[in-house]
Structure 1
Amino acid sequence: MKKILLTGGKGFFSKRLASFYHDDYEWVITDKEELDITDRQSVFAFLEELRPDYVIHAAAIAVTDFCNEHPEVAHRINVQGAVNVAEAAKEVSAKMIFLSTEQVFNGNREPGPYREDDLAQPDTVYGQNKLEAEEHLKQIIDELWIIRFTWMFGFPERQQSMVNNLFWDTIVSVLNDEPISASKREFRGMTYVYDMISQFEKVFTLPYGTYHFGSENTMSRYEAVEYLLETMGLGDRAASLLIEDKEKYQELPRDIRLDASKAKKFGVSFLSTQQAMRLAIEDYGLVINKNKAGGKHGITH
């Protein structure tokens, strides 16, 4: 059984990934409490003792505002930490997967979707960190996959971490009768976390290199919320809850969608965002029925 070291193991994606493939690999899961990736000596000692077959490096500070406000801390973790892990992985002949992000295109002015060989021009510290780390790692270790993710969505789960995402945030707003502000000039890939996870094992079969992973999406953020409400049987709530944000991205639309056709050529294929939203509702048995009792808004599990 192959041994996998997973850094950043308490994250939204990471915990679900390890749980999904629990019986298929020998997992060693670390977070900052178990392994300080900024301590090069500790990282080398840890990997020398563990000697994993694969290292999936997910550890990072991904909060945009925090990174912008604390650039030195962000660089130490997001860049130097990744370098430490890559150098140690090479030392023990482990293959490495580095999880990157659509945010490397956050400052691009031309519209997406973006291919792997398109010039990335990030304008946030987090995006800059990830792009810099990518470049360093390519010089350090040959047996490397760089996987750039789209935005992911999912539900809260017992003993799993949670992050803000359009899908769950919309449901919470409906339950609380809170307005939902969304722009018609923002475009992002939005991928169901379990669609991403179910495809992730195929990374091990890909030629080394950089790949974009995630769903194709033609909807703006506003249209995605509207579609979700309609699909859940709550289209009548859109008129009262959904508000167009006319301030954000008026000067320049935000479009950081990824073109995942390279991965598709190797058999890694994702649902569209619309298909993924439907699957998520089915997976969790979320029923919207206005004709039956089920709480104030007819939402039942």
Structure 2
Amino acid sequence: MKKILITGGKGFFSKRLTEFYKDQYEFIVTDKEELDIVDNEKVEEFFTQYRPDYVIHAAAIAVTDFCNKRPDIAQKINVDGAVNVARAAKRVSAKLVFLSSEQVFNGNENAGPFSEEDVAVPNTVYGANKLEAEALLKDIIDELWIVRFTWMFGLPERNNNMVNNILWDTLTSILKNEKIYASPHEFRGMTYVYDMIENFEKVFSLPFGTYHLGSINNMSRYEMVKHIFSSLGIEERINELVVEDTEKYSDNPRDIRLVTDKAKSYGIEFPDSGEAMRRCVEEYKIRLKQESGLLV
């Protein structure tokens, strides 16, 4: 059984990933309590002790506002920490998967979708951190996959962390009877976390390099919010709660969608975001019924 060391192992994606593949791989799950990735000496000792076959580097500070306010801390975790992990992985001959983000394109003046060959121009500290780390890691380790994720969504599960995402934020607002402001000028790839997880194992079979992973989405944020209402079967509440925010991004529409043709050419395919959203909602309904004893 291959051994995988994963940093940031308690995160929204990572915790679900390790649970999903627990019977196929031996996981060494670390978070900040188990491994301080900023401490290079401790990272090297930890890797030498466990000698993984693969490393998935998911640890990061991804909260954009925090990174912008504390770029010093963001740099240490998102860049210096990634460098330490890459050096340790190389030392023990482990293959490295570095999780990057669509946010590297957030400052591009032209609209997406963007391919792996497009020049990335980040305009946030987090996006700049990810792009800098990508470049540094390429110089450190040859056996490297850089995977840029689209925005992921999902719903709460027992013993798993949650993060803000379009589905959960929309559902929370519905439950609170709060207005939802969504821009028709914002476009992003939106991927169900379990679609990403089910495809992730295929990364280990790819040639080393940079790949964009996630669902294709042709809906604006405003259209997607309405689609969520439809998936929940409450279309009649759209006019009551959903507000089309025509001002936001009106001067400079935001489009950071990714072209995923490269990964698709190797057999990694995703449903479109609308289909994925429906699947997520339906699976959640079934799980709620099971947990309440209404479905056996």
Return the TM-score normalized by structure 2: 0.96
What is the CA-CA distance between 1:231 and the residue it aligns to? Answer: 2.4
Residues of 2 paired with 1:246 and 1:266: CA distance?
39
Residues of 2 paired with 1:76 and 1:249: CA distance?
31
For residues 274-301 of structure 1, the C-alpha deviation after alignment (integer angstroms, 9 at most, x for no partner) is 11011112212269xxxxxxxxxxxx99
2:27 alignment partner in structure 1: 27
1:295 alignment partner in structure 2: none
> Normalized per residue, which structure has more helix?
2
- Asked whether the 8 Å contact 2:179–2:241 carries over to 1, the reply is yes
1:19-98 pair list within 5 angstroms: 19-98=19-98
Residues of 2 paired with 1:221 and 1:154: CA distance?
16
Aligned residues: 289
Q: Secondary structure at the match of 1:67?
A: helix
Letter in 1 for 2:204: F
Query: Percent same amino acid at aligned positions?
Result: 63
2:104 alignment partner in structure 1: 104
- Gapped runs of 5+ residues in structure 1? 288-299
1:122 alignment partner in structure 2: 122
Q: Secondary structure at the match of 1:152?
A: strand
Letter in 2 for 1:92: V
1:150 alignment partner in structure 2: 150
- Asked whether the 8 Å contact 2:67–2:73 carries over to 1, the reply is yes
Tell me whether 1:261 sits opposite 2:261 in the alignment: yes
Q: Secondary structure at the match of 1:285?
A: helix
Note the aligned Cα RMSD (angstroms): 1.2
For residues 110-168 of structure 1, the C-alpha deviation after alignment (integer angstroms, 9 at most, x for no partner) is 11110001000000000000000000000100000000000000010101000011111
1:206 alignment partner in structure 2: 206
Tell me whether 1:234 sits opposite 2:234 in the alignment: yes
Letter in 2 for 1:273: S
- Asked whether the 8 Å contact 2:231–2:281 carries over to 1, the reply is no
Tell me whether 1:165 sits opposite 2:176 in the alignment: no
Q: Which runs of 4+ in 1 moved over 2 A?
A: none
Q: Secondary structure at the match of 1:59?
A: coil
For residues 196-219 of structure 1, the C-alpha deviation after alignment (integer angstroms, 9 at most, x for no partner) is 100000000000000000000000
Letter in 2 for 1:174: I
Residues of 2 paired with 1:273 and 1:14: CA distance?
21
- Gapped runs of 5+ residues in structure 2? 288-293
Residues of 2 paired with 1:67 and 1:231: CA distance?
34
- Asked whether the 8 Å contact 2:38–2:77 carries over to 1, the reply is yes
Return the TM-score normalized by structure 1: 0.94
1:274 alignment partner in structure 2: 274
Letter in 2 for 1:119: V
Residues of 2 paired with 1:175 and 1:259: CA distance?
35
